[in-house]
Amino acid sequence: MSALVTGPDGLLRCPWGGGADDYREYHDTEWGRPVHGEDPLFERICLEAFQSGLSWITILRRREGFRAAFAGFRIAEVARFTEQDAARLLADPGIIRNRAKIEASIANARAAEALAGGLDALVWQFAGDPDRPAPRTPAEVPAVTPESTALAKELKRNGFRFVGPTTVYALMQACGLVNDHLAGCHVRQMIG
């Protein structure tokens, strides 16, 4: 019996990508596709941190609010946020109003700005083995890997917060450092 689900369009997807339209769109167009660039990776680090303890659909549905609140996740701008900006963010109903996560996002912008060589180079040096066998069921998808543990340690060493190995592995999945689309998923076949 296949772990895949068939969408309304007849395409096979990972089980989580076959439900709500938001999930299906994210699954089909973003998750697992390589993300490069300082600001795009910073956005993903922030969103993964905000997701911690919540469902991803909550983040997806507030993504535009996050982008507006955090200056489009432009590192140079977020790194200059002040206490007044943090207070503004705590009052913004368009985002998750969690003081620790807001402060971590601002601190992470400052840490990203200070990185020698850049965030993209740091993150992508921990990409997983592209020849790893495709998982056949969700149970075969790990929550943590040696690479996510090593990347989390390196990010923390450079001043990043809310970047534990599980959160970092979710980042690696979302940004295409690993391909955890299940065997037979139509997206896995597209992105290789």
* Cα dihedral sign, 185-189-191-192: positive
Residue 8 lies in a domain: no
Cα 57 to Cα 17, 122, 185: the distances in Å are: 11, 28, 20
Question: CA 62, CA 129: separation in Å to the nearest integer?
Answer: 32
The rounded radius of gyration (Å) of the Cα atoms in the chain is 17
Residue 26 lies in a domain: no
pLDDT of 25 reads: 95
Cα 71 to Cα 26, 76, 126, 162, 188: the distances in Å are: 22, 9, 28, 20, 32
Q: Is 181 annotated as a binding residue?
A: yes
Tens place of pLDDT for every residue, the chain, 192 residues? Answer: 469 999 999 999 999 998 889 999 999 999 999 999 999 999 999 999 999 989 999 999 999 999 999 999 999 999 999 999 999 999 999 999 999 999 999 999 999 999 999 999 999 999 988 889 999 999 999 999 999 999 999 999 999 999 999 999 999 999 999 999 999 999 998 897
pLDDT of 128 reads: 86
What is the rounded end-to-end Cα distance, in angstroms, of the chain?
Answer: 23
Q: Is 186 annotated as a binding residue?
A: no
Residue 13 lies in a domain: no
CA nearest to 141, candidates 38, 49, 15: 15
Residue 19 lies in a domain: no
Residue 188 lies in a domain: no
CATH code assigned at 129 = 1.10.340.30
DSSP lists the bridge partners of residue 13 as 5
Question: CA 83, CA 89: separation in Å to the nearest integer?
Answer: 10
Number of domains in the chain: 1
> Which amino acid does the sequence have at 16?
W
Residue 54 lies in a domain: yes
CA nearest to 127, candidates 167, 168, 172: 172
Q: Is 14 annotated as a binding residue?
A: yes
Q: Is 36 annotated as a binding residue?
A: no
Q: Which of the residues are catalytic?
A: 26, 48, 56
Q: Which residue range is the domain that position 149 belongs to?
A: 38-175
Residue 183 lies in a domain: no
Residue 9 lies in a domain: no
pLDDT of 100 reads: 97
DSSP string, 125-178: TT---TTSPPPSSGGGS-S--HHHHHHHHHHHHTT--S--HHHHHHHHHHTTSS
